[in-house]
Amino acid sequence: MARTPSCDKSGLRKGTWTAEEDRKLIAYVTRYGCWNWRQLPKFAGLARCGKSCRLRWLNYLRPDIKRGHFTQEEEEIIIRMHKNLGNRWSIIAAELPGRTDNEVKNHWHTSLKRRVQQNEEAKVSNSKNEGPTSGNGIGSLQVTPPATSQISDSTGALSPFSSSSEFSCISSDLNTTSSSNEKLVFEDDFDFLDAFAEHVNEKFWSELQIDANGALQNQDTTQILDACALSPNQSSSQSLALDNALGNFLDANTDPTIDNFWGQPYVTDTSFAAESEYFSIGYDADLWSQSDLYDEPFCLF
């Protein structure tokens, strides 16, 4: 279901995202947020256009994405709203927590559209046979019940990054989530990344609560991420080092089998981040304040 990787004339990659690219994007957005999609790939060490990064994050990598089978209730909402609004996919998707406009749109074109058309045809046929009183309106639209396999997975098949029900009970309070009791001390930038990678299979996302717009709800977390954010004013050598680190840090620390890594629920623990000395050591406030790009508060995701 993926495209063959390719490369366009400008040297930017197109097509299927590799696991390594995903990890780079996740690591970068997780840590620094999406301060500027166009600039992001450069700092994240990705040979992708910003648009592609944004799309990949919003439609696939975001932690609150719900993937897999649409429930009957979700399908009814889509059908009803499409009837009223037409192809306003983003608005329709907004009514379906965890669903993206792209996914809703795809589901409509591949499944619901045909089903609704058949239903309409059936109604027309019935009306011819039974007269004008047979129509019941939108609410009567027949929605095919989910298959047995779908029923057995009543929570919906979630993305590799949200594949457990843990997301439905995310706690955002870093002060109360130090369950891991781990206090890690980071000696430099890359140790943070290494530590991040060590926890990437555990409970990372469980510490973050993200609203419908993808914004962090926990102020403490936002402040932390503000403080550790990387300035584009870094020297080129710093940027280069960062690129290398971002490209390799997870490889060096995560599960050796990529398939296994991506098959795991994307949940890890960030409580260590809140307690780390890294955030008070690695942040140059003066340098930071010089950057016009960062005048606005960070918006993670």
Q: Residues interacting with DNA, by CB under 7 A?
A: 1-4, 6, 8, 13-17, 34-39, 48, 50-52, 54-56, 58-60, 67-68, 87-91, 101-103, 105-107, 109-111, 114
Residue number with CB closer to DNA (6 or 136): 6
Query: Using N-to-C axis directions, what is the helix angle for 236-253 and 189-199, rounded to 10°?
Result: 30
Least Cβ distance, residue 139 to DNA (angstroms)? 23
Nearer to DNA, 81 or 174 (CB): 81
| CB 234, min distance to DNA, A | 18
- Taking the CA atoms of 201, 206, 207 and 213 in sequence, report the sign of the dihedral they define: positive
> Cβ closer to DNA: 55 or 274?
55
In the complex, the smallest distance separating the C-beta of residue 255 from DNA, rounded to whole angstroms, is: 21
Nearer to DNA, 234 or 253 (CB): 234
Angle at 267 between CA 65 and CA 260, to 5 degrees: 95
Taking the least distance from each CB to DNA, the nearer of 104 and 197 is: 104
Question: DSSP letters along 222-238, please?
Answer: HHHHHHHPPPTTS-HHH
| C-alpha span between 87 and 229 (Å, rounded) | 38
Cβ-based nearer residue to DNA, 56 or 199: 56
The beta-carbon contacts of 81-90 under 8 Å, at least 24 apart in sequence, are 82/108, 82/112, 82/116, 83/138
d(Cα 181, Cα 55) in Å, to the nearest integer? 36
Q: How far is the CB of 2 from DNA (least distance, A)?
A: 5
CB nearer to DNA: pick between 144 and 179: 144
State the nearest-atom distance from the C-beta of 4 to DNA, in Å: 4
C-beta of 210: minimal distance to DNA in Å? 14
Name which of 70, 222, 90 is nearest 154 in CA terms: 70
**Computed from CA positions of residues 22, 61, 300, 253, in that sequence, does the dihedral angle turn out positive or negative?**
negative
Q: Is 11 left (phi over 0), alpha (psi -120 to 50) or beta?
A: left
Q: Is 77 exposed, middle or buried (0-12, 13-18, 19+ CB in 10 A)?
A: middle
**Minimum distance, C-beta of residue 160 to DNA, in the bound complex (Å):** 11
